[in-house]
Chains A and B, each alone.
Chain A
Amino acid sequence: MARTKTRATAATALTPDAVRKAYRDMLLARIIDERQWVLNRAGKAPFVIPCRGHEAAQVGWGSALRDTDFFLPYYRDLGVVVARGYTARQAMLALLGKAEDLTSGGRQMPGHYGWRERNIITGSSPVGTQVLHAVGIAYASRLRGEDSVAATALGEGTTSQGDFHEALNWASIYKLPVLFIVENNEYAISSPQSREMAVQDVSERALGYGIAGATIDGNDYFACHEATFQAAERARRSEGPTLLEFKTYRTVPHSSDDDDRVYRSREEVEDWKQKDPITRMQAHVLAEGILTKQEDEALWREVKAEVDEAITYAEQAPYPKVEDMYRHVYAE
């Protein structure tokens, strides 16, 4: 599973090329997301689970680790897998349930990522199960004397699951190299954070496990990248797991079947849109001269064209054969 190519850099040491790639990944995730909703409303895609608003957090942690590390994203983490090389074509093939979908051959709902070649571990819909898998993966790596880290993400609502507690407990007892990344967007579908926990910050809970914890501005790509990188380096030095909380906001409903108007005000959503992570990253790359305005406009055109091409490709791609549904229940 491990590949030889390795890439991990502190945020402060990121090259202009790396920043440009991060910005492009965030933008690609955003445009894929937007187009998926259009396809859903046009009746072409049954279900969309959005990443919108989380792009800085997701590309931030997805780009801060090594290729030999393990990635256990949750269903919202399109930005994480894009940072690991997942393409617009792949996203659209999964959206439409086509045979060529590399994560599941059209079996899973969109957003249930898994890609062995890139150390992205297959995920499911019951929330929080992957958090324990990260612990077992880290245990296995350490038993073999490898220095890889297992990073897993979840929403703040999932911290209510028993598996979350059991995983933090295991990882802290054995000082395992695990990063627990909570993308806190304030809502578990309609339930606000105050209905999921009595503390202000998820990261406060780290104290109860005797591990490191930190709350980070989840709309700041550089802060998310740096916190992940540093936590991973600590984990590699056998200093134990870290509970990272990236505070962010999903600026659209939970899914294409949700209506967020019943549980939050338009003013609140509008306030968060003003803090949009893409706009913020765009301002950074322009201010730092990493891209000129013209180059930025060209980049947006290029990404949109890439996503349009992906839709055309996925729409024309074949569905799986019916008889193939009987395959891969057990080893063949």
Chain B
Amino acid sequence: MAVKNLIDGVREAMHEEMARDPRVVLLGEDVGIRGGVFRASEGLVGEFGEARVIDAPLGESGIAGVAIGMALNGLRPIAEMQFADFIHPAFNQIVSEAAKIRYRSNNDFHVPMVIRAPFGGGVHGALYHSQSVEAFFMHVPGLKIVVPSTPADAKGLLKSAIRDEDPVMYFEHKRTYRLVRGEIPDGDFTVPIGKARTVREGKDLSIFAYGLMAVFAEQAALELEKEGVSAEVIDLRTLLPLDREAILSSIGKTHRGLVVYEANRTMGAGAEVAALIAEEALFELDAPVRRLAGPDLPAMPFNTVQEEHFMPNPEKIVHAARELLAS
């Protein structure tokens, strides 16, 4: 087992799956000779050739739509959106087509494809290189949505996504690419879609998060521990379908819940987690569920002070946890 970056997990998963299965292809802007703008596909074109590592024309609807056609005809495409912020032109193809093809054809057709998209802020990406778009797609049955926060999960979840028979959206937080390091098990392994990960166990409150926020939640829990607070951290990992059992069983243990996400607060992933707890576990609660999220603004500003104010961070999580414990 070796310690690696999160982005190594992404690259290794694609590399191993392309070597294992000739049906797997990668298409996206600059994924070939450039290896992707974040280097996620570095080396792949040299090994698998331009026919399977495809530098797509610059149009996101085209990338998604062509990938759907490939999936309909026996391939296993990985479609890369250069930034999640640029996924919106592909919304129709993803939502009207990929998500509905199995359903509308009464199971006659299906779309085994992965859409990878770097998301999230805290990198001076400003309005159009910082967005968290997962909530748009959480509203769409027919899709699955995963977000890794460790190198091992990055690899194992991407392998599961590639092998899945339905369209999977794989959001990778761009700040975690080289910030988060960890061990990746040797050999072939997968991480199941639909299962949350208990990052650390605790008894005083549960912090639910995903992506970079799961990393920050763990850091916050270490800080809280110094104050004698035992925080359980649950990395949701899959946003669609949510791991209801993991969420409810954690609440059953700690009786207090804090949901952390950096997307706009209103109608974000945290709203669904909070609603689930309210519907299924209200009488387990010692305090109302709290959400710590990005503010309801059109987007994240470029300048340092406003960007920092937008992003949740470990200090803000600690503060929110203290408030929750005091309520």
Binding site for B on A (CB under 8 A): 1, 70, 102-105, 107-108, 112, 114-116, 121-122, 124-126, 129, 131-141, 143-144, 150, 162-163, 166-167, 169-170, 173, 327-332
Contact = CB atoms under 8 A, between A and B. Distances in A.
Given A107-B103, A122-B101, A122-B105, A163 B142 contact: no
B103 A328 contact: yes
Nearest to A138: B69
Interface string B68-81: 11111111010000
Interface in B63-119: 64-75, 77, 89, 92-93, 96-97, 100-110
A108 B61 contact: no
Interface of B: 25, 51-52, 56-57, 59, 61-62, 64-75, 77, 89, 92-93, 96-97, 100-110, 141-142, 144, 164-166
A331 B108 contact: no
B109 A140 contact: no
A102 B107 CA distance: 10
B68 A331 contact: no
Given A129-B93, A329-B141, A116 B109 contact: yes
Contacts of B103: 107, 328-329
Which 7 A-B pairs have CB atoms at the shortest separation, nearest pair first?
Answer: A136-B69, A132-B65, A166-B62, A105-B106, A133-B69, A140-B73, A331-B165
A143 B65 contact: no
Nearest to B105: A122
A107 B109 CA distance: 14
Given A132-B65, A136-B68, 4 more contacts: A124-B96, A124-B100, A132-B93, A162-B59
A222 B293 CA distance: 64
A328 B106 contact: yes
Contacts of A105: 106
Nearest to B144: A330
20 contacts: A70-B73, A122-B101, A122-B108, A124-B96, A129-B97, A131-B65, A133-B69, A133-B72, A136-B73, A137-B69, A140-B74, A143-B25, A163-B92, A166-B59, A169-B62, A170-B62, A329-B142, A330-B102, A330-B144, A330-B165
A328 B106 CA distance: 6
B72 A137 contact: yes
B59 to A, nearest CB: 5
Given A129-B92, A143-B75, A331-B110, A136 B70 contact: yes
Given A126-B96, A143-B51, A170-B62, A132 B106 contact: no
A136 B65 contact: yes
Given A126-B96, A166-B57, A329-B141, A132 B69 contact: yes
A93 to B, nearest CB: 12
Contacts of B56: 170
Contacts of A114: 104-105, 108-109
A137 to B, nearest CB: 4
A8 B71 CA distance: 26
A112 B141 CA distance: 20
Interface centre among A114, A131, A328, A332 (most CB of B within 10 A): A328
A169 B65 CA distance: 13
A104 B106 contact: yes
Nearest to B97: A129
B70 A137 contact: yes
Contact of B70 (A126, A139, A332): A139
